[in-house]
């Protein structure tokens, strides 16, 4: 199976409080946070990596050079739009596509390998990482919605949650593996019916389940691995985590 990876790296990082670099180029213990993710994906056996760049993209391009591919997102129209920028260069060239954010440097190679193995074994439409968080709203993660049989139906973004959905602790930290044919055929069907009016990438989950697709997950037992960086406070938290490389990460499969 040929696998490609798309890492979203176009954000300005306004809440980080700096204007001299894109968010993914903020350093964590001496190197850009996005480099940790690139290394983990590559070590999991995926060499075809594309970065979706935008704000101050020259800094990203100069850092990675020819070691990865690039596509440009000129407008910030949401996660779905960002992935769409990679369609022309990747469609028809791989069987599966990993998609995640460049501001999540703590993902382990072992996690990515487990996700790939599960995806292949189950012949799924989408395989994703989920996590139980004590304070989901602090990190702003979407909630995982399941049916009475414990099947994943959809995810709802934190800002769009109703009162009951906001109480759900199982969250979607946005690390996915897609059947490539499903991804590229359905990406442009994503709507903008959310608070932000953006093309919301996780809508593909509900689109898959409604059309009879198979959505599966692995659940990490620790929230440390899936923390993203949007603020200086979160950056300091991630730095502490990555200083400790002996963290034992466990998984449950569903």
Domains and CATH numbers, the chain: 3-244 (3.90.550.10)
pLDDT band at 45 (very low <50, low <70, confident <90, very high): very high
Predicted pLDDT at 193: 53
| pLDDT over threshold 50, residue 248 | no
Averaged pLDDT for residues 52-74: 94
Dump strand ranges (E) for the chain: 3-9, 27-28, 31-32, 48-53, 69-72, 96-101, 126-132, 142-146, 152-156, 170-172, 175-179, 215-220, 251-253
Cα–Cα nearest to 205, from 146, 158, 150, 141: 146
H/E run at residue 174: none
pLDDT > 70: percent of the chain:
93
pLDDT tops 70 at residue 253: no
The pLDDT, as a whole number, for residue 252 is: 39
- For residue 177, pLDDT beyond 80: yes
* Most confident listed range (25-39, 77-91, 189-203): 25-39
Specify the pLDDT at position 205: 94
Look at residue 81 and tell me whether its pLDDT is greater than 90: no
Look at residue 247 and tell me whether its pLDDT is greater than 50: no
* Average pLDDT over every residue of 102-110: 92
| Residues whose CB is less than 8 angstroms from the CB of residue 49 and which lie 6 or more positions away in sequence, other chains included | 4, 5, 7, 38, 41, 42, 68, 69
Give the model's pLDDT for residue 254: 35
pLDDT surpasses 50 at 246: no
Q: Is the pLDDT of residue 249 over 50?
A: no
How confident is the model over 37-53, as a mean pLDDT? 96
Least confident window among 157-161, 186-190, 246-250: 246-250
């Amino acid at each position: 199976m040929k696998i490609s990876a798309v890492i979203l790296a176009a954000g300005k990082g306004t809440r980080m409080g700096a204007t001299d670099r894109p968010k993914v180029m903020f350093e964590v213990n001496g190197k850009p946070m996005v480099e940790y993710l690139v290394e983990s994906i590559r070590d999991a056996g995926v060499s075809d990596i594309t970065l979706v760049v935008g704000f101050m993209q020259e800094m990203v391009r100069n850092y990675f050079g020819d070691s990865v591919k690039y596509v440009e997102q000129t407008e910030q129209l949401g996660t779905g739009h960002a992935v769409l920028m990679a369609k022309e260069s990747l469609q028809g060239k791989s069987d599966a596509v990993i998609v995640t954010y460049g501001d999540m440097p703590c993902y382990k190679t072992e996690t990515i390998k487990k996700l790939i193995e599960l995806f292949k074994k189950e012949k799924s439409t989408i395989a994703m990482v989920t996590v139980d968080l004590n304070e989901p709203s602090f990190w702003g993660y979407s909630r995982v919605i399941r049916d009475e049989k414990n099947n994943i139906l959809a995810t709802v973004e934190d800002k769009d949650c109703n009162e009951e959905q906001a109480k759900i602790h199982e969250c979607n930290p946005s690390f996915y593996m897609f059947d490539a044919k499903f991804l590229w055929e359905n990406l442009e069907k994503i709507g903008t019916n959310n608070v932000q009016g953006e093309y919301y990438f996780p809508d593909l989950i509900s689109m898959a389940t409604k059309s009879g697709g198979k959505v599966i997950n692995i659940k990490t037992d620790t929230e440390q691995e899936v923390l993203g960086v949007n603020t200086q406070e979160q950056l300091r938290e991630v730095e502490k985590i990555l200083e400790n490389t002996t963290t034992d990460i466990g998984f449950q499969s569903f």
